A and B are shown apart, each in its own frame.
Chain A
Amino acid sequence: MGAGALTCLMFVVIALNAIAAAAGLALFAVAIWVAVDGYKLYPISGVSGKDDIFAAAWIAIFTGFAFFLTCIYGIFAALKRSRGFMMVYLIIMFIIFLFECASAITAATNRDYLVGNSNLVKKQMLQYFADSSTQGKQITQTWNRVMEQVECCGADGPSDWIQYNSTFKQMFGSTYIWPLSCCKRLSTFEVEDKEGCMVGKASTIFPKGCFQHIESVLSRYTWAVSWYGFSVLMLVFFTLVIAMIYYMQLE
């Protein structure tokens, strides 16, 4: 290969590495956003033991930053026109590629277990809401916050509390049909109409279910890690193929 073509190839490798470094840094930032869990829905996945979305986010934090560093090193290695450096670069990039693959696949697969349909979330709510164990307290707090902020009740609707036996029903069933978080409140946080809410009057209770919100949040986390990770990996794949060609043309 002529010197001119080699130089051109070198510039292509450098440009792709620069883009991949930026993409890796963005992956790092997005994965931090997921791990921080701004919507505070971690207990729903943590209590059921299926918190791999967040584990994948942690992996993506490390791989994103590693991509950034390694691609900068790759720019340096390409400028040096050194086979040894390029070989090290390729090996490290390949290892990071495998880890990032694992992260993307894990997040996508685990999401299907958690929010494929409302059963798991509903069963967990019925079992742990108002339970006095640590998990029960976490779930109770999470559900109360979701029901009050998103203005919803139950997983598919208030009828979940009527149809199924639950810890809440065992403990408070003679006074309350469903939790007071299901009731509409005034701006002073007082329940607007407690009698009407316990009877199920449509204007005093939140009739829709919370599952849609929970599913959309967890899906948002998953697609951030998994689809964005996938797109970074496609870019890195292309970069590595070009880098391998460049390596073969060196010397």
Chain B
Amino acid sequence: MKNSLPSLQLLLIGVDSYLPGILLSTDTSQVDFYSRIYLHPCYKMKTNTVISLMSLMSIWMWTGEGQIFQPELTSNAFLAKVTSNTVILKQPYCVFNQPCPGCEIWLVAGLCSANGTFDALVNSSTTNILSLSPYPTAFNPSSNNFFLTRVGLLSDFPCNQYPNDRYFVVGADGICSGVNCNGVLPDGSTVCFKYLLIDANRTLINSSNWSGNITLPKLLPLQTIYDGLSARSGAMVVITTILCVAAALLLLLFLIMLCVTCCRPTKKDSKQISVMNSIRIPRYDTHNLKERVHPYDNPAYQSDLKNYSTSSTLPKNGARKL
């Protein structure tokens, strides 16, 4: 069975089913095609029907140009469309348009480097291709690097419906152990897909094209995230500098204040007028009130009392004789 069927050949197959015997040669030029129709013995009888059939066919050909014939990524904007080990594809609507009761659509998922391996195995082997490469050992170092998994019945994907929002997740079963389970793909690999049409007897009827290369992003280990200091914010710098300056200034002012207040007595003495020997404090209680308070002291000199409270502070030379 041919792997790729251009739309004109499909048209011929369709016409062949309606006007038997037309497909006598493999020549597919358009002139020959139309001449064969017009010269067909049944042509005169079925002219009108042929014309309507042709118009239907041309419409179908036109719509058929939009038909996908290979697996494609879903057109939805899913966040997990392509992860490191799963891929989300469109559902295979209108991929295989032939009538095939009880047929199923299967998906071949594997490394793109194994495309040739799969094709060769399919062409050469006559055994059941579904168990060619069981999933659990599929991606071992010396294995085939592909696996097959069932997508659904052909009848579930008719061509007259074309919902774009339906999707199929490759890898939905996680790390599974079945022969044909929908397991995850190898991390960070480049994968390709292909649809197969398998009938009820498990024989291959048809297969689509290989999809384009889909590169899965490699999973990053979380140790690669650098969580050290990124940058210092401006606010932090301002607060730190101004507060440090303020604290230092305060300490400085405090020390200056202490110096000024502690050194004040000596400075005061040199500034103030020193008491001269001529000032005389009359003492009226020399004889009877020596040890007690002196009530006859002049209150004007009350503040100077402590300067003269002991004999050592009295002027040494005493009163000068006037």
For A163, the chain B residues whose CB sits under 8 A away are 217, 219-220
Tell yes or no: B293 within 8 A of A by CB. Answer: no
**Contacts A97-B250, A163-B217 given; does A113 touch B229 at CB 8 Å:** yes
Task: Assess A105 versus B243: contact at CB under 8 Å? Given A199-B167, A244-B254.
Answer: yes
Partner of A230, one of B78, B219, B222, B239: B239
Selected from B86, B233, B260, the residue in CB contact (under 8 A) with A116 is: B233
Interfacial chain B residues near A205, Cβ < 8 Å: 79
Q: Chain A's interface: helix, strand, loop or mixed, by majority?
A: helix
Our pick among A117, A120, A248 for the contact of B261 (Cβ within 8 Å) is A248
Interface band, chain A: 35 or more
Q: A97-B250, A175-B174 are in contact. Are A112 and B231 (CB under 8 A)?
A: yes
A-B interface contact total, Cβ < 8 Å: 129
Which residue of chain A has the shortest Cβ distance to B218 in the bound complex?
A163
Partner of B219, one of A113, A164, A175: A164
Could you tell me which residues of chain A, from 193 to 251, have a CB within 8 Å of some CB in chain B?
198-202, 205, 207, 223, 226-227, 230, 233-234, 237, 240-241, 244, 247-248
Is B226 in the interface zone, CB < 8 Å from A? yes
The answer to whether B105 has its CB under 8 Å from any CB of chain A is: no
Query: Do A123 and B227 have beta carbons less than 8 Å apart?
Result: yes
Residues of B within 8 A of A (CB): 76-81, 83-84, 86, 88, 167, 169, 173-175, 184, 217, 219-222, 225-227, 229-233, 235-236, 239-240, 242-244, 246-247, 249-251, 253-254, 257, 260-261
Q: Which residues of A does B touch, CB under 8 Å? A: 83, 90, 94, 97-98, 101, 104-105, 108-109, 111-113, 116-117, 119-120, 122-124, 126-127, 158-159, 162-166, 169, 173-175, 177, 198-202, 205, 207, 223, 226-227, 230, 233-234, 237, 240-241, 244, 247-248
15 A-B residue pairings within 8 Å (CB atoms): A101-B244, A108-B240, A112-B230, A116-B229, A116-B232, A117-B231, A159-B79, A162-B80, A163-B220, A164-B220, A174-B174, A175-B174, A233-B246, A247-B261, A248-B261
